[in-house]
Chain A
Amino acid sequence: MTGEASVAAGSTIDALGQFELHPVLGHLGEALRFSQSPLFMLIAAAVVLVFLYVGMRPAAVVPGRLQAAAEISYDFVHDLAVSTIGENGATFFPFVFAIFFFILAGNYLGLLPFSFTYTSHIAVTFGLAIMVFIISILASIRFQGVGFLKHFLPAGTPVWLAPLLVPIELISFLSRPVSLSIRLFANMVAGHVLLEVFAGFTIMLAGLGAFGHVLAIAPIAINIALTALELLVGVLQAYVFAILTCIYLREAVAH
């Protein structure tokens, strides 16, 4: 939410301005097409890596708080990957871990004032979803050969149904990256638009004088509740993205 102070311009609320991209680092950033979105991706990756590095530095047998948190994150994603994908889950575990924490850190960093939510950009979420899609296709070919194509005709269906079923299966397969990316994108955009709209209400009400000052408490209270909701949505969407990745990969490695 970049610059909440500049939200309310007169009587209109610019809820979408927070999603605009601006080059950082001046002309260098402009030349490198480096906006605040990649900047926050870098910050998110660094935060996760530093968390793991600092957390695991004691390498104690009896972990402290930070080490326990790092180990819990590891175990959580590891269990998710192994229990969903199966015996090959360990192979894909680092990938699932990267997906989950890249999205989670992006969602949570975006909740900080003056930060930017890169998961609110369809280009980013679609890029992640296409990556998952391509990797699951590559895993299918790697583990099942070209034979994975027979999944488009579910076993036991009569041949005369094939002209109907194969396109349906194909469309549902191809719509995976679309639904995966739009789910995350829409959730993040909706949450941030709501936060911005209620923040704008607060500023507009404050302009009404003493009475407005009292009324302005209401949107602030709503924004506090929305922030709590966004904390839930942020982890939930990261989890959904990660578990759907695992499910697609399980189909890819299943024989």
Chain B
Amino acid sequence: MYRTPRLFLFAAPLAAVPGRAVAAGMPQLNFHDPLLIGQVVWGAVIFGGFYLALSRFALPRVERVLTNRRTRIQNDLDVARKAKAEADRASAELLSVRHEAAEQARAHVERIQSEARANAEAHAAETAKRLETEIANAETRITQSREQALSSLSEIATSTTQDLVSRLIGTQDEQTVASAVKRVSA
């Protein structure tokens, strides 16, 4: 059931192109064929047109896009580099300003500290001086009181001794008692 159509198929090209199967030689070398030379002439025309279309329109278009990209990337890189330099400069500036401020603050703190120290020292010295004068005052007062006490002591001792003597012996000699007390207390 397969035979008939297949046989027909095989026979069809034989009938359609008689003698082709036995035709010797390559069609490419059949230089009598006007189509063979025709394709060379057509080929020259088509290749020429192809070359012109490529060199005038197609390839410059690609070139433009590639150049655009290159310049754009270059520009972007330049912009980025410039921005980086600017940022670096700003950051350096910030650092130096911060450093300066820290220096100032330290100097300020030191000044205040030394001021406070000087104040405290002055205060302490003043207090010491006041205390010294007070101590001196007190000492003079003590000395005065003692002298006073010592000076009234001979009086008290004399009067006490007179009283004692008058009680003991019923009589007294003021001069004698006074000189005796003076002798004892000296």
Residues of chain A lying within 8 A (CB to CB) of residue B34: 33
Q: Are A38's CB and B58's CB within 8 A? A: no
Contacts of B186 in A (CB 8 A): none
- Report yes or no: A33 in contact with B28, Cβ–Cβ below 8 A: no
Where chain A touches its partner, the secondary structure class is helix
Secondary structure at chain B's binding surface: helix, strand, loop or mixed?
helix
Tell me if A34 and B42 are in contact (CB < 8 A): yes
Tell yes or no: B72 within 8 A of A by CB. yes
Residue contact A33 to B38, C-beta cutoff 8 Å: yes
Cα A75 to Cα B66 with chains together (Å): 10
* Residues A124-178 near B (CB distance < 8 A): 124, 127-128, 131
How many interface residues does A have (CB within 8 Å)? 54
- Output the least CB separation between A139 and chain B (Å): 15
Is B170 part of the contact surface with A, judged by Cβ < 8 Å?
Answer: no
Q: Given that A9-B13, A123-B40 are contacting pairs, would A17 and B20 also be in contact in the complex, using a CB cutoff of 8 Å?
A: yes
Query: By the criterion of a CB under 8 Å from any partner CB, how many residues of chain B are at the interface?
Result: 50
Assess the B50–A33 pair: CB atoms within 8 A.
Answer: no
Query: B168 interface residue, CB < 8 Å from A?
Result: no
Partner of A61, one of B38, B41, B72: B72
Verify A71–B66 contact, CB threshold 8 A.
Answer: yes
Q: Are A93 and B59 in contact (CB under 8 A)?
A: yes
Proximity bits, B28-39, A CB within 8 Å = 1, else 0: 110101111111
| Nearest-neighbor residue (CB-CB) of A50 within chain B | B58
- Chain B residues in the interface with A (C-beta under 8 A): 2, 6, 9-10, 12-14, 16-17, 20-23, 25-29, 31, 33-44, 46-47, 49-51, 53-55, 58-59, 61-66, 68-69, 72
